[in-house]
Structure 1
Amino acid sequence: MKAAPQSQQRLLDLQELDAALDRSAHRRRTLPETAEIERLEGRLTELRDAVVTAETEVSDLDREQKKAEQDVDQVRTRAERDQQRLDSGMVTSAKDLANLQSEIASLRRRQSDLEEVVLEIMERREEADARAARLRTEREEAGRELTSVTERRDAAWKEIDEEVAATGAARTAVAKDVPDDLMALYEKLRAQFGGVGAAALHRGRCQGCHLALNTVDLNRIRAAAQDEVVRCEECRRILIRTPESGL
């Protein structure tokens, strides 16, 4: 392949710009904010689920407490009714009086037991309510943190995108100075060799693979015409000759 020395030199400028674009793309992919956002989104999902579970528990305990309080009221009402019968003097039979007094005592014990149940449920509900409140607070804090990190990521993305736009414009201008066939070879090699398609020959060493060329290869390159596109025998990248090539 033939190309004017000036066109070949432009490949080094192009390679530098492409390397900058690759670095920008890598930075965009690996922003620490991106990983932090992923972590916070996962945490928020966990907290939302936990809040729903805690609030459901509170709701269940509310119903349980209401049912227990209704049971207390029923027993209290019945005991009060029996006490009124006892106090009214309407029951005169000794046996009936004994039975009524026994029932009242049983109802009082039952009422006391049910009131203990209500207190236990109230304690559990208070704990569940506090847990739900704490989880809601954590959810809100995680949401604010996610918003803040997202804003930082978006600002970083904007900065990177602006850099990419400027570098891309510069690359377009440089690419106009490179013949199509040389550009096609360069792009092919870039795809094959980790984004580096052309490298300078510096003091007898390829800057692409960083290996020193042997004497035979250096003599071959030394003898090649200035417009001949030469390749590194080790890595096959395009070698660009410069005054520092050591030829």
Structure 2
Amino acid sequence: MSQINFKLLTGHLDGELQPAEREAVERQIRENDEWNEEWSNIQRSVEAIRHSGLYGHVGAIRKQYDALQAVDNVASRTPVRSIVRNLYRIAAFVLLIAGSASVYQYMATNPASIYNQQYAAYSLGSNRGSADASAIEEAYRNGDWKKAAEAYGRWGKYDTKHCFLAGMAQMELKQYKDAAIKFTQVLAYNREHSDNYFRDEAEFYLAMSYLATGEVSLAVPLLKKIRAESNHLFQQRVARLSVVEMNILEFKER
């Protein structure tokens, strides 16, 4: 949808359109599937704005209003009305700006946008490898994702590092569901053996694989877990993702 059409819809939501414009927009909503879908999304954004804490502004404004009412008991009424009127003008402007930002954030937030914001290819550092690198490691370092994934398939036994690297190779090949299986295997093995080897990496990239396949209900709990653990290797990266964005993702899944 064009920017102009989006502005018409938000103008309709705010009751700012002239009668002729309003009638034309309502007709488009009734007759045009794209307009109808966009209108539904904008209406749902009202709930998302509530999640963002936007209405906290209203509480603050109400407190200031009550304080001014107390002043009204000892001062002339005209100046107080003027102050209150200006206060509400300021409040309206704050809510308009914040509301517009929240609408845009709601519209722009989806699994793909969060994936693109968060994902970065995993770099195999020397501290994670042995002196004699395996064929899987060599293929991975060379960016030969297909060879790395196939080499693990021929490996014949479980190995945490190799399983993780095979999963990362499949991420690069956009084989997200297969990658998720590998990361899940790493985490299951660690739980069974009380080990943390590649645990942080597997959790983060498992969340990425879920985002890539649109499985928000599986991705968001992992992201929240990582965000809450100060010692997690990926905590700072996930902390760039706001709680509001995660709430919007979950809200859109309902």
Q: TM-score, normalised by structure 2?
A: 0.28
Higher relative contact order structure (alpha carbons within 8 Å, sequence separation ≥ 6): 1
Give the structure with the higher percent strand: 1
Q: TM-score, normalised by structure 1?
A: 0.28
Bigger Cα Rg: 1
